[in-house]
Amino acid sequence: MNHISAILTKVSPERRSSLYWALSDCWVLTRRSIKHITRNLDQLLSLIIMPIMFLILFRYVFGGAIDTGGITYPNFLLAGVLVESLAFGSSNTTVNIVLDLKRGIVDRFRSLPMNSSALLSSHVMADLFRNTISSLIMVAAGFVVGFRPTAGPVEWLLVFGLLLLFTFAMSWFCAILGLLVKSVEAAQWISFMFIMPLTFVSSAFVPTDGMPAAVRLFADNQPFTQVIEAMRAWLVGTPIGNAGWLSVVWCAGIMLFSVPVATWLFRRRARVTTV
């Protein structure tokens, strides 16, 4: 903390209003968040073990009972588990923001000449780092359980780009959740309450064809399904339909809503905590 303060106090407040210094503040605090990941055993275990556990569970426990048509279940499954892992990984932003608010770190940062939104941005950037590593581990584990992609270099780049876009959008949405609650326990359940239905009522683990009409209507037209179908199409060659551009539109829409709302809530919460 003292090291961060020393860095942030080197520059005059007048210069810190520029884009360069806003990015510099974000980078300093992102390094702080990444160090927390590497030094926290719980976060390291969730980063490595949880994605593999989900993959093995659905591959070997449920896989034999699910008909996916002309595609093997490992090939069907990986995109769904990947998006599930990204979504739940993004909920770390919710918890970390609550922790910073409860520990008084936000009050300390407000006394420094730093950009007001750098703390939020740094948690989102740390989530990008965390989820990228988790995704690489997930793909490697997928090869072990039978995942055999047909994607070329362009398709892999598209998957990676959508992965980053989806994580960025979900992390900003989870930042809103973290600013709406006041305890770590509430931060954990509120993110689960939003992410769990979107994950399981989608095409992540089973085709939507067998769902009841009302459930299928929701599943086919929600953002997680669009992202999953786009990734699945690029990875293993399933029909993509409108999922490619719809997944981008959904992610962009979530960001356009979440970034200003999270920034406004953060400034409001920060003012309240200093009163």
Average pLDDT over residues 66-81: 85
pLDDT of residue 270: 61
Residue 7 has pLDDT above 50, yes or no: no
Residue 8 is assigned to a structural domain of this protein: no
Residue 265 is assigned to a structural domain of this protein: yes
Residue 14 is assigned to a structural domain of this protein: no
Residue 27 is assigned to a structural domain of this protein: no
- Total domains in the chain come to 1
Residue 147 is assigned to a structural domain of this protein: yes
Residue 136 has pLDDT above 70, yes or no: yes
Which residue range(s) make up the domain with 172?
52-274
Single-letter amino acid, residue 73: Y
Lowest mean per-residue pLDDT among 60-69, 109-118, 224-233, 234-243 = 109-118
At 43, the pLDDT band (50, 70, 90 cuts) reads: low
How do residues 211-221 score in pLDDT, each as one tens digit?
Answer: 899 999 999 99
Place of tokens 């600013």: 179
pLDDT of residue 162: 94
Single pTM value for the model: 0.83
Residue 206 is assigned to a structural domain of this protein: yes
Residue 246 has pLDDT above 60, yes or no: yes
